[in-house]
Amino acid sequence: MEALIGLFGELFGLEGTLALSAAYAVCIGSILGFVTVYSMFAIWMERKVAAHIQVRMGPMVTGGWHGWAQSVADAVKLLFKEDIIPTRANAFMFWIAPAVVFCGVFAGLIVVPFAVGVQVVDLHLGVFFIIAIASIEVIGVIIAGWASNSKYSLFGAVREAAQVVSYEIPTATALLVPILVVGSFRLNDFNTWQAEHHWLIFHSPWLAMAALIFFISSLAGCKRAPFDLPEAESELVSGFHTEYSGMRFSFFFLEEYTSMFVAALLTATLWFGGFNLPFVDSSAWHPALAMPIGIVVLLAKTFFFIFVQMWLRWTLPRLRVDQVMSMGYKYLVPWAFVALIATAVWDYYGWGWLPL
């Protein structure tokens, strides 16, 4: 960020607020571009992973090599589709819901450090910010469900509200565990701590448990199977976005895949070393070398977790509403607190677990 401001100052003589705005515009534009390209890739990946698990081939024709352009074609098709707003729907709310949903998740990406220095804002409360801003998405979904004036949408929205709000407790509690060890909310501190010590997943069994709890509850937060109740195709047709079509529908899609990305990225950053390579000390490297390697390493880790999310989706059946709730409150929440307290005790006595 600072580097960008400096760059604008040098190149165009911009100063103060002007340079800041220009730098923000560039950052947001690049994140937006990244999210779009990533979503297209993730959708293509999802289809390929699903197809290969299901002994199919998936898209093979569009674009030549293994149908790589299928998502592009889908995006073009969605762009040109007629924009339908149901007659009885609340048009303004119906219109604004996809934007609200997308903004919440998109904003979370601002604080993410992709590599040394590749970060829009280095917030001190980075983790907190992501969790907080991602909650806005629920409001958007409820708006969408209510404004659609469809019973299926309403069911989906209410399910989403109950589920996501409940699962924020284990998510946040599980996130507190690595925060407790590192002693900071800042995402960059996790990278430096894990570069200096070891990956947090190996710190103690409680951190591994916290990672599992976070991963499971983040699935629920992303509305991924086995927690895809708000969409629940076989029960609610398509859940809260039943009435949406065209570009608005694709915003919900973007949101789903972006939140998957954020969840996977948090898992990678907080527990799996962030942009650090295992067994390699990259702190002394030249930034020009460390930056691309850091981005690649982080994205590789993230995509591994995204793959696991997809793998789970195509393996498991869907839970029922009350089972989702009981799983959250009876299993994840207590164990998240157990992990938190046990980590506190563990670190107080300075026990080691693995010879790291």
Partner 1 sequence: MEALEMFTSDRNADVYTEELKLNLGPQHPSTHGVLRVELAMDGEIITDSWCDIGYLHRCAEKIGENVTYLQFTPYTDRMDYLASMNNNLAWSLTVEKLLDVEAPERAQWIRALVAELNRIASHLIAFGTYGIDLGANTPFFYAFRERESIMQLLEKISGARMLYNFIRPGGVANDIDDAWMDEVSAFCDDFEKRWVEYNTLLTDNFVFIQRTANIGILTKELALSNGCTGPVLRASGVKWDLRRDVPYLEPYDECEFDIPVGEGTHGTLGDCWDRYWVRMREMIESVRIIRQCIEKIPPGAHMEKSMVKMYKTPLKPPPGEAYVRCENPRGELGFYVVSEGGNSPIRCRTRAPSFCNLSVLDKLLPGTMLGDAVATIGSLDIVLGEVDR
Partner 2 sequence: MGAIRDYFGNISSALTSTAKGMGVTLRHYRKEPPITIQYPFERFPVPDRYRGLHILEQEKCIDCKLCAKACPVDCIEIEAEHHGRILEWTQFSIDYKKCIFCEFCIPPCPVDCIHMTTEYELATEDPDGMVEDLLTWTGLRPQDQRALEEAAARKAGKVVPDAAASKPSAEGTSAEDMAAKIAAIKARMGKKD
**What secondary structure letter does DSSP report for 64?**
S
Kindly tell me which residue out of 161, 291, 321, 344 binds partner 1, with binding defined by CB under 8 A: 321
Least CB distance to partner 2 at residue 326 (A):
10
Q: 126 or 156, CB closer to partner 1?
A: 156
Candidates 323, 329, 344, 347: give the one binding partner 1 (CB under 8 A): 323
Cβ-contact 115, 128 below 8 angstroms: no
Q: What are all long-range contacts of 123-130, with beta carbons under 8 Å and residues at least 24 apart?
A: 123/186, 123/187, 124/184, 124/185, 124/186, 125/185, 125/186, 126/185, 126/186, 126/187, 126/188, 127/175, 127/179, 127/185, 127/186, 127/187, 127/266, 127/270, 128/185, 130/262, 130/266
In whole angstroms, the minimum distance from the beta carbon of 331 to partner 2 comes to: 7
53 contacts partner 1 (rule: CB under 8 A): yes
The DSSP result for 82-104, as a single string, is -----TTS-HHHHHHHHHHHHHH
Shortest Å, Cβ 215 to partner 2: 12
- Restricting to residues 206-245, name those near partner 1 by CB under 8 A: 225-226, 228-229, 232-237
From partner 1, partner 2, none, interface partner of 128 (C-beta below 5 to 8 A by class): none
User: In whole angstroms, what is the distance from residue 321 CA to residue 283 CA?
Assistant: 47
Instruction: Write out the binding residues for partner 2, residues 7-66 only, by CB under 8 A.
Output: 49, 51-57, 60-61
The alpha carbon dihedral of 41, 47, 53, 59 has a sign of: negative
CA distances from 142 to 29, 97, 101, 149, 159 (A): 28, 8, 10, 12, 9
Secondary structure (3-state) at 118: strand
Quick one: tokens of 225? 């199977």
| Smaller CB separation from partner 1, 122 or 235 | 235
As a whole number of angstroms, the distance between CA 126 and CA 185 comes to 6
Q: Contacting partner 1 (CB under 8 A), which of 20, 26, 50, 172?
A: 50
- Choose, by CB under 8 A, the member of 83, 280, 315, 354 that binds partner 2: 315
Q: What is d(CA 211, CA 272) in angstroms, rounded to the nearest whole number?
A: 9
Site for partner 1 in 66-85 (CB under 8 A): none
- CA angle, 326 then 327 then 329, to 5°: 60
Residue from 318, 329, 338, 344 binding partner 1 (CB under 8 A): 318
To the nearest whole angstrom, how small is the minimum distance from the Cβ of residue 225 to partner 2? 12
Determine phi and psi for 236, rounding to 5 degrees: -115, 25
Residue 49's binding partner, choosing from partner 1, partner 2, none, with beta-carbon cut-off 5 to 8 A by kind? partner 2
Q: Which is nearer to partner 1, 15 or 233 (CB)?
A: 233
Q: Which stretch binds partner 1 (CB under 8 A): 8-16, 47-55, 278-286, 292-300?
A: 47-55
Please choose which of partner 1, partner 2, none residue 234 contacts, taking the beta carbon within 5 to 8 angstroms, the exact cut-off set by kind: partner 1
Q: Is 315 in the site for partner 1 (CB under 8 A)?
A: yes
Q: Which does 321 bind (CB under 5 to 8 A by kind): partner 1, partner 2, none?
A: partner 1
CB of 141 vs partner 1, minimal distance in Å: 17
Q: What is the DSSP letter of 272?
A: S
Report the alpha-carbon distance of residue 159 to residue 217 in Å, rounded. 15
Decide if residue 320 touches partner 2 (CB under 8 A).
no
Please answer whether residues 30 and 4 qualify as being in contact, where contact means their C-beta atoms are separated by less than 8 angstroms: no
Site map for partner 1, 136-165, x if CB under 8 A? ---------------xx--x----------
Residue 329 sits in the site that holds partner 1 (CB under 8 A): no
Residue 211, phi-psi category: left (phi > 0), alpha (psi -120 to 50), beta (remainder): alpha
Binding-site ranges for partner 1 (CB under 8 A): 50, 53-56, 151-152, 155, 225-226, 228-229, 232-237, 314-323
Binding-site ranges for partner 2 (CB under 8 A): 49, 51-57, 60-61, 311-312, 314-316, 330-331
